Amino acid sequence: MLIGLVGIGKIAVDQHVPAIADSRDWDLAATVSRHGQVDGVEAFADFDHMLETRPDIRVVSLCLPPVPRFDYAAKAIRAGRHVMLEKPPGATLSECHTLEAMAREHRVSLYATWHSRQADKVAPAKAWLAGKTLKKLTVTWKEDVRQWHPGQDWCFEPGGLGVFDPGINALSIVTEILPDPLHLTAAELHFPQNRDTPIAASCRFYHPGGADVSANLDWLEPGPPTWNIEAVTDQGTLLLENGGGKMTIDGRHDEGVAGLGGEYPRLYAQMAELVVQGGIDMDLAPMRHVADAFTLGKRVTVAPFEW
Amino acid sequence: MLIGLVGIGKIAVDQHVPAIADSRDWDLAATVSRHGQVDGVEAFADFDHMLETRPDIRVVSLCLPPVPRFDYAAKAIRAGRHVMLEKPPGATLSECHTLEAMAREHRVSLYATWHSRQADKVAPAKAWLAGKTLKKLTVTWKEDVRQWHPGQDWCFEPGGLGVFDPGINALSIVTEILPDPLHLTAAELHFPQNRDTPIAASCRFYHPGGADVSANLDWLEPGPPTWNIEAVTDQGTLLLENGGGKMTIDGRHDEGVAGLGGEYPRLYAQMAELVVQGGIDMDLAPMRHVADAFTLGKRVTVAPFEW
């Protein structure tokens, strides 16, 4: 199938372009970007122009930042195109609900992707947890914002989500691997005195079986990142490391080899399936938990942050 | 039908008890509360005990504060009871989604009530706006928290919503009367230096027809409250005042008389219909807009607030 890629920034070049190039399902037929382009691919600066002149491109993948993304997604859906959205699927929950209603009305596929859910060991972790009784689940998601988003002030502007930008990846995994729904009961958000989003957060969740579920997010961790989820059950302890890339059960490393080649190839394979089936996958659970944390969280002012 | 009322505080005594007493649909069969009770009605201190000993009571109405409400609602649904929820329907969006899924699974009715939607002039305003082109909509929701919630510190505790506690009433009306879905694009939230929730907020919204939609909320307005929504259209201007109780079109007062007697009687009539039809009404749009404002809003610290 032909696909158009909108927003040719770092994530597009690093992940989307190679994933599309390696896929048997997809051919990159056009890009839309004010600045970037891809060698050998028709480049548009204007999205409307692409939608008008390339009616053969039935699917578009949007890698723009969340705030402008709604307008592009709405235009594409109204033009009868299937749409794939980078995470998070929008700047607000309300616009995501609107997009889903529009996709149903226009009978197109819509996919809110959560790339971390496609990490190698997420499906095995989900399978291992099924049928076991959860006692405790602890998310530890710590990285150095200076290393991962150097100088990117948008992270700290309203809507930038702050430490929940990486933290939502953890929540996307947790909501995938646990069979039971959680909801936040308390959170503490650390806002640098000179910034509009939190740089650290701790969250506690209600679990229907009474398990002790918590998340500890920190954007000021020096050195290598820690992206871990530990689940203690009645039948042993599962540890997911490397953002879902490594799994150990009671200290034994799971050596199983995953199919396909990584998170983004799996997202594009999933999108191909959705388009063929006429499906919509607009699971907003990770984003709802983040909104709940902002709504319910206690705000603590901490030292100013400078790059 | 027999109904049990859980949480006998000010809102129950002022609104729920009289609405049930005046209704032909309902008989108040039991109350559950640690402190309050209603003369001549069986009083329980323990909810489990009521559910066990009164299987004839098929419907419960929960007027507890949002934070403890989830546990009661989940117990009631698991016990096969139909459930009516005061606004807001929970402390988090996630728990509301969980409750809706549980209600579908247990085939019971669930009603997230928004009492302001039942104000006398909301349905006439919706009817008048239908088919007209909106140019501008302005919410002005200003009241004195010292008059309306004297000494109630929970308003300013995490999860208490602050000025969005009254503001969500305005949003419940706006999302009812407008045919098109909105989403927030920017907000400014004023947090008193010594409090955890905002005491004032201004919000801007995207409207699919390009109308200029905004809300201005203030909890420090002395004197009588202003609870107004003004909608400028291509065919005149609608002004809703008194929280939806009064309507003027281009300055002419709408004299139409509403049926039934007020917001809560209409909520209970609606609940009776839902139970008969086996329906679920769990519209979370007002709460999503509030969560979006907390997520996207710029935080401004203002003077400390003392009662």
User: Which chain B residues contact residue A296 at CB under 8 A?
Assistant: 91-92, 158-159
- Mark whether A122 and A254 lie in a shared domain: yes
* Torsion sign (Cα): B142, B143, B149, B153: positive
- Mark whether A97 and A155 lie in a shared domain: no
pLDDT above 90 for B68? no
Taking CB atoms and an 8 Å limit, are A183 and B292 in contact across chains? Answer: no
- Is residue A111 within 8 A of residue A88, CB to CB? The reply is no
Q: DSSP assignment of B278-301, as one string?
A: T-EE---HHHHHHHHHHHHPEEEE
Chain A interface includes B70 (CB < 8 A): yes
Q: Which of A93, A186, A297 sits opposite B292 (nearest CB)?
A: A93
Residue B243 lies in a domain: yes
Nearest residue of A to residue B206 by CA position? Answer: A95
Q: What is the pLDDT of residue B258?
A: 66
Q: How many A×B Cβ pairs under 8 Å?
A: 103
Residue keyed to tokens 């948008």:
A154
- Mark whether A225 and A124 lie in a shared domain: yes
Taking CB atoms and an 8 Å limit, are B288 and A95 in contact across chains? Answer: no
Measured from the Cβ of residue B105, the count of other Cβ atoms closer than 10 Å reads: 10
Taking CB atoms and an 8 Å limit, are B294 and A291 in contact across chains? Answer: yes
AA identity, residue A71? D
Q: What is the pLDDT of residue A256?
A: 77
How far is the C-alpha of A96 from the C-alpha of A70, rounded, in Å?
8
Q: Which of B78, B174, B183, B302 to mutate to test the interface with A (most CBs of A within 10 A)?
A: B183
Domain boundary among B112, B132, B164: B112
Percent of chain B with pLDDT over 90: 92
Residues of A recognised as catalytic: 87
Average pLDDT over residues B12-32: 97
How does strand B183-192 pair with strand B110-112? unpaired
Domain boundary among A92, A112, A132: A112
User: Which chain A residues contact residue B299 at CB under 8 A?
Assistant: 191, 196, 299
pLDDT above 90 for A93? yes
Phi-psi region at A157: left, alpha or beta (left = phi > 0; alpha = psi -120 to 50): beta
**In angstroms, how far is the first alpha carbon of chain A from the final one?**
43
Query: What's the pLDDT tens digit per position in A207-229?
Result: 999 999 999 999 999 999 999 99
- Mark whether A101 and A246 lie in a shared domain: no
Would you mind telling me the total number of residues written for chain A in this entry?
A: 307
The per-residue pLDDT of chain A, averaged, comes to: 96
- Is residue B272 within 8 A of residue B134, CB to CB? The reply is no
Q: What is the pLDDT of residue B136?
A: 98
Nearest residue of A to residue B156 by CA position? Answer: A298
Average pLDDT over residues B214-218: 98
pLDDT above 70 for A258? no
Residue A32 lies in a domain: yes
Tokens of residue A126, six digits? 């989900």
Query: What's the pLDDT tens digit per position in B115-153?
Result: 999 999 999 999 999 999 999 999 999 999 999 999 989
Q: What is the pLDDT of residue B67?
A: 81
AA identity, residue B100? E
Measured from the Cβ of residue A217, the count of other Cβ atoms closer than 10 Å reads: 29
What is the DSSP secondary structure assignment for residue B140, as one 8-state letter? Answer: E
The DSSP element (H or E) to which B275 belongs, if any, is helix B263-277
User: Which chain B residues contact residue A158 at CB under 8 A?
Assistant: 186-187, 296-298
CATH code assigned at B83: 3.40.50.720
CATH code assigned at A203: 3.30.360.10
Average pLDDT over residues A57-61: 98
- Mark whether A296 and A163 lie in a shared domain: yes
Q: Which of B181, B196, B296 sits opposite A98 (nearest CB)?
A: B181
Average pLDDT over residues A39-66: 96
Q: Clarify whether B142 is annotated catalytic.
A: no
- Is residue B187 within 8 A of residue B297, CB to CB? The reply is yes
Tokens of residue B156, six digits? 């300013």
- Mark whether B106 and B159 lie in a shared domain: no
**In angstroms, how far is the first alpha carbon of chain B from the final one?**
43
* Residue B130 CA: distances (Å) to CA of A191, B123, B179, B183, B229: 43, 11, 7, 19, 16
Taking CB atoms and an 8 Å limit, are A181 and B101 in contact across chains? Answer: yes
Domain, as residue range, for A51: 2-112
The per-residue pLDDT of chain B, averaged, comes to: 96
User: Which chain B residues contact residue A292 at CB under 8 A?
Assistant: 92-94, 291
Number of domains chain B contains:
2
How far is the C-alpha of A124 from the C-alpha of A168, rounded, in Å?
20
- Mark whether B251 and B298 lie in a shared domain: yes
